[in-house]
Structure 1
Amino acid sequence: MDLNALADFALVATNGGLGKASRASGKSKATLSRRIAELEEQLGVRLIERGPRGLKLTEAGEMLMARTEGPMHEVEEAMTATREGLSTPRGRLRIASPVLFSQLAMGRICAGFCAVYPEITIEVVGEDRMVDLVEEQFDVAIRINPSPDSSLVGRCFARDRLVVVAAPSVSMPRAGAVRAVPAIVFSSFQSTNWTLDDGRLILEPVPRLRLSSFLMIRDAAVAGAGAALLPQSIAWDPLTQGRLVQWGAVSDVEAALWVLHTSRRLASPKVRAFVEFICDQYPEGSLVLEG
């Protein structure tokens, strides 16, 4: 049975006529009349008598109204409760995030988010691989410089840049020709120069240490093992403490962090709330939180 037709029948019966029902609901009299006719055809009985003095419920119509009035109110109340419930962020939020960002920031961010939205529980999976949000049932993914994907939407919430740093004990080469410097690099490093500040200084890194994470590279640089190419956000604390010195920034290279989900139109309240929250954590659009 068509619940819309049943609801329109109840609307007409309650208001005592097509005209009043039309004014009360904003639906046209033609639509209401058609719905009732369809319902009568489905049931095989006449529900409303149409006479010169207006509409009157038949015995079958009165019986149907008596039997369905309560349940229809319950359905309406249930739908209202569902709409109101879904407007409040709640439930489990599953997030895929790069390992390093997870280690450095997601604990703080998620704790703050749960304090604001106590009806949400969070699961963060720190992985550098490209997860499938739908197949793996993730609500949100945080990605660095994501490729365009028509199935995902989101916002860029912060940017970072690559800088060359070294301990104060390591001599900074003078600008000019390409300068070879002892360097700490990733395990997968392939020989390439570091061009800083639009060509002011060009460095040829000579690997002394090959390490597999930015945190290890940073700590080795602080210990004086050589120059290192790091995201500025990773080097920020030792830079402000004077344990590292910034030699320059790599030209035209930037890391943009995006928070992505599968659909803007159908995004749940918990997803919308998280997107807004993480963007608010970086009001200047930079991963470096000064002060």
Structure 2
Amino acid sequence: MDLLALADFNLVARHGGVGRAARATARPKATLSRRVAELEESLGCRLFERGARTLKLTEEGRALHERTAILLGEIDDVAAAIGAGAARPRGRLRISAPQVFAHVAMGRLSAHFALRHPDVQLEVTAEDRTVDLVEDAYDLVIRVNPRPDDDLTGRCFLHDRLVLVAVPTRPRPAAGEPVPAILRAGAAPTRPWRIQGAEGLAEITPKPILKLSSLIMVRDAVHTGIGAAVLPLSMVAHDIASGRLARWGDLAGGEVEIWALYTARRLLNARVAAFLDCLRDAFPTGTSDELSRFLA
């Protein structure tokens, strides 16, 4: 099998079309089309369904892309390391991170990383969807409380927990009394908050008055005194310490783990290893207090 044709096929598959691949890489469109056609001829099957304006992988094409994109990526990683004369990080590093963590932490983390590794072109995308590392061409993803995935490996670099907070002037409700609540949009159906406080386990019934798409907006709304909200401790620790917010208790089962994950089927390249080192240096113990101090 022609590796050059295979690489061009994966390039077209990743970008979703010959034209897009040609524009993204400044490669001649005719060359990419010819290489894909040659690969199809050598394999004796069609790899793309061609419409008037669309190009879609066939079942055979999808299987070939899923299995060979990783192998070609490993070849590129080895070649880059050898070309550098060592395992010096270089090239492009693409990271996907949840919006809240990206907005409050990734700017500074990325700047620190760039100063250490000027030969790496770091790209960070803030998004809450569960991306596919291979299909979406990411090297590393950051996820909160990720589900087990045999295709991914990595490490938990931060621990946090969810707490219920309100302004100090708002009295804590009596048993059975609902409290005005600020919720994150898209959260699970409203149920009583089970809170572990100094007096033991208690239930507080939220009465939704606002639904906001960002935890940062939720925090800002809580500061106005309009209602109570469940937020990560790291986001409100300084407000609690300064007396701007009161901590009513910890959400039962509200432990939070933040993981850095990469595909288990690829060699750990120098760029990913370097970013993991950056996370380890920023959060050596991985506690919510560390994240709170970092955010401050």
Report the TM-score range of the alignment, normalised by the length of the smaller protein: 0.5 to 0.7
1:180–1:203: 8 Å Cα contact kept in structure 2? Answer: yes
- 2-side partners of 1:80 and 1:215: how far apart? 40
Residue aligning to 2:180: 182
Paired residue total: 211
2:80–2:90: 8 Å Cα contact kept in structure 1? Answer: no
**TM-score, with normalisation over the residues of structure 2?**
0.66
How far apart are residue 221 of structure 1 and its match?
A: 0.7
1:138 and 2:134 correspond: no
- 2-side partners of 1:95 and 1:187: how far apart? 25
Going from structure 1 to structure 2, the CA distance change for 1:80 and 1:130 (only over 3 Å counts) comes to closer
How far apart are residue 233 of structure 1 and its match?
A: 1.7
Residue aligning to 2:62: none
Task: Answer with 1 or 2: which has the greater Rg.
Answer: 1
2:166–2:227: 8 Å Cα contact kept in structure 1? Answer: yes
1:166–1:247: 8 Å Cα contact kept in structure 2? Answer: yes
Residue aligning to 2:195: 196
SS in 2 for 1:288: helix
* Percentage of pairs with the same residue: 43
Once superposed, which parts of structure 1, at least 4 consecutive aligned residues long, lie more than 4 Å away? Answer: none
- 1-side partners of 2:106 and 2:80: how far apart? 35
SS in 2 for 1:285: coil
Residue aligning to 2:279: 278
How far apart are residue 264 of structure 1 and its match?
A: 7.5
Question: What amino acid does structure 2 have at the position aligned with 1:278?
Answer: L
Residue aligning to 2:252: 251
Measured against aligned partners, the alpha-carbon deviations of 1:98-132 in whole angstroms (never above 9, x if no partner) come to 11111010001111111122221200011111111
Residue aligning to 2:212: 211
> Where do residues 36-185 of structure 1 align in structure 2 (5 Å cutoff)?
82=82, 85-173=85-173, 177-185=175-183
How far apart are residue 139 of structure 1 and its match?
A: 0.7
RMSD of Structure 2 on Structure 1 (CA): 2.2
SS in 1 for 2:231: strand
- 2-side partners of 1:90 and 1:80: how far apart? 7
How far apart are residue 275 of structure 1 and its match?
A: 1.2
Going from structure 1 to structure 2, the CA distance change for 1:264 and 1:99 (only over 3 Å counts) comes to same
Question: What amino acid does structure 1 have at the position aligned with 2:178?
Answer: A
2:166–2:222: 8 Å Cα contact kept in structure 1? Answer: yes
Question: What amino acid does structure 1 have at the position aligned with 2:280?
Answer: C
How far apart are residue 203 of structure 1 and its match?
A: 0.4
